[in-house]
């Protein structure tokens, strides 16, 4: 186990050095995960190119760049310059121009700092090599959103034939993390957009995987600002409520619902799956909620209501 962890750390350090994440004077370790790139860099002297000759790669998996981090990097570049060279290749579609393989963030920050040229290594990598390097670089540096990360893992598996175990080794993550990330991609696009925009975390979204109403629940989680734990409880309760309502009500249950509705003045739903059940009281405004809480508190149930964090209320509104 110790040797395996050491191997993972070495992979990370190798790519960090290769892509400019170490200090300038730090010794450069070659990452065995990308020997073709290490060889290309070793045989390529550092040169300088004008910013307008460089362009982002269409194979770059990252689409979101943190504005605060860019401003900080821009200030550093304005003061000290670009300390680490970018990795580029001749643009196959535009002679005389170059495609950025690694270092797009430095390129963007240099534009803001009004720097006109930057140091680069010019390589001749294939499309497949460019994509693999870009994915590994971003995944190891944790610059991706959870959705970008999941798509990166998927492409490493599907386009390059990596197993999940190999992907986990390369990016220094657990296999379970890789598998759980890839499962996010089974969620609806609307939910993925909430994750991609930072409105939902991976922990909040994971419990929604496999639920038919995941989009509706995701919007409720965001609206109420629920924590990952609360989102998990909501998702579990929602699934339980759906299972309970599968059993048709008999006439006695329907009559009991009507009796409770007449006594309380609120819509009441009784669900039973043959083993356990639930009673749901619906409300339409906060005044009605206060009235329900007051009635139940009078029966000694106030502590139970507080502990439940209004889970059944959330479920009713999501239905």
* Catalytic residue list contains 132: no
Please answer whether residues 70 and 112 qualify as being in contact, where contact means their C-beta atoms are separated by less than 8 angstroms.
yes
Please answer whether residues 88 and 100 qualify as being in contact, where contact means their C-beta atoms are separated by less than 8 angstroms.
yes
Both tokens of 174, joined, read 């657990």
The dihedral over CA atoms of 68, 70, 75, 78, expressed in degrees to the nearest 10, equals -170
Tally Cβ neighbours within 10 Å of residue 295: 13
Q: Is 46 helix (H, G, I), strand (E, B) or coil?
A: strand
Q: Is 57 helix (H, G, I), strand (E, B) or coil?
A: coil
Nearest CA to 214 out of 226, 224, 204, 228 is that of 204
Residues 6+ apart with CB under 8 A from 63: 148
- Please identify which of the residues 104, 129, 148, 149 carries the catalytic annotation: 104
Helix (H), strand (E) at residue 239 = helix 228-244
Q: Which residues are tagged catalytic?
A: 104
């Amino acid at each position: 186990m110790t040797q395996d962890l050491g191997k993972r750390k070495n992979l990370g350090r190798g790519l960090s050095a290769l892509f400019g994440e170490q200090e300038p004077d730090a010794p450069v370790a070659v990452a065995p995960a990308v020997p073709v790139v290490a060889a290309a860099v070793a045989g390529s002297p550092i040169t300088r190119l004008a910013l307008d000759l460089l362009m982002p790669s269409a194979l770059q998996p990252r689409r979101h760049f943190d504005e605060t981090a860019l401003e900080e990097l821009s200030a550093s570049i304005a003061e000290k310059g670009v300390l680490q060279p970018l990795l580029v290749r001749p643009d196959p579609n535009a002679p005389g121009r170059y495609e950025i393989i690694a270092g797009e963030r430095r390129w963007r920050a240099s534009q803001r700092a009004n720097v006109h040229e930057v140091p680069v290594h010019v390589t001749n990598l294939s499309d497949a090599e460019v994509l693999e390097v870009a994915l590994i670089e971003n995944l190891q540096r944790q610059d991706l959103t959870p959705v970008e990360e999941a798509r990166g893992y998927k492409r490493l598996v599907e386009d390059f034939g990596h197993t999940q175990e190999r992907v986990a080794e390369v990016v220094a993550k657990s296999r379970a993390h890789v598998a759980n990330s890839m499962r996010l991609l089974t969620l609806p696009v609307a939910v993925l957009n909430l994750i991609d925009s930072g409105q939902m975390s991976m922990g909040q979204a994971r419990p929604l995987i496999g639920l038919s109403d995941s989009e509706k629940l995701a919007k409720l989680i965001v609206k109420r600002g629920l924590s990952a734990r609360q989102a998990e409880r909501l998702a579990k309760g929602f699934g339980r409520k759906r299972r309970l309502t599968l059993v048709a009500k008999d006439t006695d249950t329907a009559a009991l619902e009507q009796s409770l509705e007449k006594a309380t003045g609120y819509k009441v739903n009784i669900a039973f799956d043959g083993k356990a059940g639930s009673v749901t009281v619906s409300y339409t405004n906060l005044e009605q909620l206060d009235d329900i809480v007051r009635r139940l508190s009078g029966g000694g149930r106030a502590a139970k209501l507080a502990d439940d964090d209004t889970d059944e209320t959330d479920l009713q509104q999501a239905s």
